[in-house]
Structure 1
Amino acid sequence: MKPANAPHVAILDDEPEIRRMLSDALEEAGFRTTCYGRATEFEAGLKRSAPDVCLVDLSLPDRDGLGIVHRLALESGAAIIIISGRAQVQDRVTGLELGADDYIIKPFDPSEVVARIRARLRKGRTAATPAMQVASFAGWRAHFDRYVLVNEAGEETPFSHAEGEVLRLFLDSPNRLITRAQMQETLGGAAGESFDRAMDVRISRLRTKLGEDPKNPKLIKTIYGAGYIFLGDVSWN
């Protein structure tokens, strides 16, 4: 019997064989799993319990998988990993731009999926120690336990798990250059055009949520050809 605090993985795939293969591999590795064959069942399940990781297939019988990914990125704190037979670069780029944390192409080895999930959860635990869940900066408070930004008026703006990874990277190293290579090493994923575009989208969304002028941002500055710098004093509590 799995401990109650074992990481919970929700699996959304319309192929029973895939669901069974993933569930067996993950359960054997110590995870708790819940499987869904349709998006409507998956969404109903999310209202009952919040998983730590969501594995989402893109080809679903009742909903566009990319739409599910986008909604999860906006509303859930779970890590999102796409598992799909769509192998085109543009599909991977689109999935990452919409908020996915990783993209695995079918067919795959279940052990690879287990390893990717473990790596993603390790990053999350490293980035979210209990003593450092809330950061204050430039009139904002970022709550990484609730995935929300709070302004001076007390108004809340949610951010996704993927956006939170980027924001924490900046807040952990304020006033220092962070290169693309450092971002790729810290956040994971394959270096290349799809990773760069995904980072551009996440940073653009963070700037919008922080009320930045896209033509002249004050907090997240682009250093062309080098990387980014977060300007400002940051305190953690």
Structure 2
Amino acid sequence: MTKPLVTILDDEPEIRRMLAEALQEAGYRTASFARATEFEASLKTSSPDVCLVDLGLPDKDGLALVHRLALESGASIIIISGRAQVQDRITGLELGADDYIIKPFDPSEVVARVRARMRSTKPVGRVSETAHFSGWIAQFDSYVLRDKDGVETPFSHAEGEVLRMFLNSPKRLISRAQMQENLGGAAGESFDRAMDVRISRLRTKLREDPKNPQLIKTIYGAGYIFLGDVTWD
């Protein structure tokens, strides 16, 4: 079995070396890049499982890159940044990152976060990648929603994690605690905000009325429930 690939994008050589050594020792393959252009070029020939992305890049805006990765890549995205403000973390998560680690950090913490992301993306008891519900088709191998007329709408890896969770448990209440357990990440304000953003974006892509959604219902004080009938190919 091929080892999972983790890419490291950071302009500090010591950080790249430290992370690569820790991840390789933990059983991962790594590829390291100092510039966003080199990293983006590599995506044409490789498909990383997890991308570690520093926001302070010399050639491109780190947040813009994170947003593009979230829309176009199937990888989990973990931001590594010296920006410690809560708003910076929220912005990163809103743009599609799955986790946010503040510098300075212990390499073992990064390895643990990578393991958590890998666990959350492994299919559990199901290998099917296509779900049908309420006139929609969700294709998780290509990260696309297709309506009854065949119109396609892409969704991000992070949005896909939430959608798969709902589709695997239709008509069952899913609490915030269950979401955190299923999807990984540290519980707290940043996680709750990230979930709210992802669910809001899914509702928009499913053309739900934000004031009266019919598929993803909020049960105030309890969690969420997905009301559609679901079948898997």
Work out which of the residue numbers 35, 42, 48 in structure 2 matches 1:38.
35
Amino acid at match of 2:91: T
- Conservation of the 8 A alpha-carbon contact between 2:116 and 2:185: no
Cα distance between partner residues in 1 of 2:15 and 2:178: 34
Cα distance between partner residues in 1 of 2:100 and 2:125: 23
Structure 1 position 54, deviation (Å): 0.4
Amino acid at match of 1:84: S
Amino acid at match of 2:121: G
SS of aligned partner of 2:43: helix
Question: Are the structure 2 counterparts of residues 52 and 172 from structure 1 closer, same or farther at C-alpha, using a change threshold of 3 Å?
Answer: same
Structure 1 position 126, deviation (Å): 3.3
CA RMSD of aligned residues (A): 1.4
- Conservation of the 8 A alpha-carbon contact between 2:138 and 2:144: yes
Percent of matched pairs sharing the same residue: 77
Alignment pair present for 1:114 and 2:111: yes
Cα distance between partner residues in 2 of 1:118 and 1:44: 26
Aligned to 1:203: 199
- Conservation of the 8 A alpha-carbon contact between 1:128 and 1:144: no
Aligned to 1:50: 47
- Conservation of the 8 A alpha-carbon contact between 1:127 and 1:168: no
Work out which of the residue numbers 211, 215, 220 in structure 2 matches 1:219.
215
Provide, for residues 66-107 of structure 1, a one-character-per-residue CA deviation record: whole Å limited to 9, x for no partner. Answer: 111111111111000011111111111111111111111111
Aligned to 1:179: 175
Aligned to 1:142: 138
SS of aligned partner of 2:30: strand
Give unpaired runs (5+ residues) of structure 2: none
Cα distance between partner residues in 2 of 1:71 and 1:129: 28
Structure 1 segment 123-134 matched on structure 2, within 5 A:
123-127=120-124, 129-130=126-127, 132-134=128-130
Give unpaired runs (5+ residues) of structure 1: none
Work out which of the residue numbers 96, 99, 102 in structure 1 matches 2:99.
102
